Amino acid sequence: MDEKLTITRAQLAQLKEYSGQCIARIVGCTSGDAGEVIGTGTFIDVRNTIYLLTAQHVSAQRFATNAHGDRLYDGLAHDGGPDDEMFRIRNPTLGYGFPRDIAIARLHSEDLGAPTLIPMQWDRIPKFAGNLEKDIFFVHGYPGRKSRFVRAWGGIASESFPWVATEEPCNCSWFDPKIHIAIGYPVQGQDERGHLIDLPHPEGLSGSALWKTNIASKGSNWEPEDSKIVGIIIQWDQDSQTLIATRIEYVQTLVLHVIQRESAYFRWERRGRSHGDDQADWFAAEEDISLL
């Protein structure tokens, strides 16, 4: 491996703390006080409004059914930060289907309880993934089938998992390098001490942010804030042993589309919900997002 593509235990700990401030468990609710961790989300702050970003197939699990056609969940929820209580996702979730497979939901301010929660500011999210060669990537989420049980709203029996990797080739039929990024995630890997370990099943990592650490380019001057989100994890390909992410360019497009729809809706509300001026609402919303 290139000597520059190394990470220290201290840097890994910093990355885990930094990214952990803006990630959430996404839960499929099975009753009033229980559920299953079905994925990971990232909190982002767009003009002082908080959104939860994840994978579309995670969001769609709210409609999942069993073999008898019965709904598995009566809704979705997220935690408000590390060791915090759970909150129902009450607003509609909008997204792109496969192969982009990303989704976003606007959250209510009262659904963010933990003081340790620091959403990622919109202006810190790059518009393009850029050059991804010769760098270390980082994923922080909630993988593993055994960790998918929630004892009660106040106690989630799952732990987050940080993973560092390099970009790897992916030969699955639907992988498109213009849309996707692939990083290594084998069945067996190494911990920070170099010991071989069996990695948690990647189920649950869906929706996690993919970070480009920029450790290689920054060298000894590196800080956790130099890391940038360059994608959202959507799948694990068993054949190539890679996690596949949708590039941040498509996240940018989705967020702008959602903001524009919301802006047009709020303008319609402000003018008394009258009809006959829908185009003006939409054109005003276009001007609004041009400021982002």
**pLDDT at position 283:** 67
153 shares its domain with 284: no
**pLDDT at position 115:** 66
138 shares its domain with 161: yes
pLDDT, the chain, mean:
84
Residue 258 has pLDDT above 80, yes or no: yes
Is residue 151 situated within a structural domain?
A: yes
Q: End-to-end distance of the chain based on CA atoms, in angstroms?
A: 40
**pLDDT at position 11:** 92
Residue 25 has pLDDT above 80, yes or no: yes
170 shares its domain with 66: yes
Percent of the chain predicted with pLDDT > 90: 45
154 shares its domain with 100: yes
110 shares its domain with 140: yes
Assign 172 a pLDDT band (cuts: 50, 70, 90).
very high
84 shares its domain with 113: yes
Is residue 224 situated within a structural domain?
A: yes
Among 281, 37, 256, which residue's Cα sits nearest to residue 142? Answer: 37
**pLDDT at position 280:** 72
**pLDDT at position 146:** 59
Beta bridge partner(s), residue 46: 49
230 shares its domain with 256: no
**pLDDT at position 204:** 87
Residue bearing the bigger pLDDT, 46 or 276:
46
Beta bridge partner(s), residue 96: 102
Cβ neighbours of residue 52 closer than 8 Å, sequence gap 6 or more: 24, 26, 41, 42, 43, 78, 89, 104, 105, 107
40 shares its domain with 146: yes
Lowest-confidence pick of 4-13, 177-186, 233-242: 4-13
Among 5, 9, 17, 1, which residue's Cα sits nearest to residue 219? Answer: 5
Residue bearing the bigger pLDDT, 263 or 29:
29
Number of domains in the chain: 2
Residue 82 has pLDDT above 70, yes or no: no
Lowest-confidence pick of 23-27, 76-80, 241-245: 76-80
**pLDDT at position 184:** 93
The CATH number covering residue 68 comes to: 2.40.10.10
242 shares its domain with 257: no
**pLDDT at position 92:** 85
**pLDDT at position 1:** 44
Is residue 122 situated within a structural domain?
A: yes
239 shares its domain with 261: no
167 shares its domain with 283: no
Q: How far apart are CA 68 and CA 51, in angstroms?
A: 34
Residue bearing the bigger pLDDT, 272 or 220:
220
16 shares its domain with 60: yes
Is residue 2 situated within a structural domain?
A: no
**pLDDT at position 275:** 75
Is residue 4 situated within a structural domain?
A: no
pLDDT (tens digit per residue) in 122-157: 999 999 998 888 899 999 998 876 566 555 545 555
Is residue 49 situated within a structural domain?
A: yes
Assign 290 a pLDDT band (cuts: 50, 70, 90).
low
pLDDT (tens digit per residue) in 32-79: 667 888 999 999 999 889 999 999 999 999 898 888 988 888 889 888
Percent of the chain predicted with pLDDT > 70: 81
**pLDDT at position 109:** 72
Among 184, 182, 179, which residue's Cα sits nearest to residue 246? Answer: 179
Global pTM? 0.87
Domain carrying residue 15: 9-250
Is residue 1 situated within a structural domain?
A: no
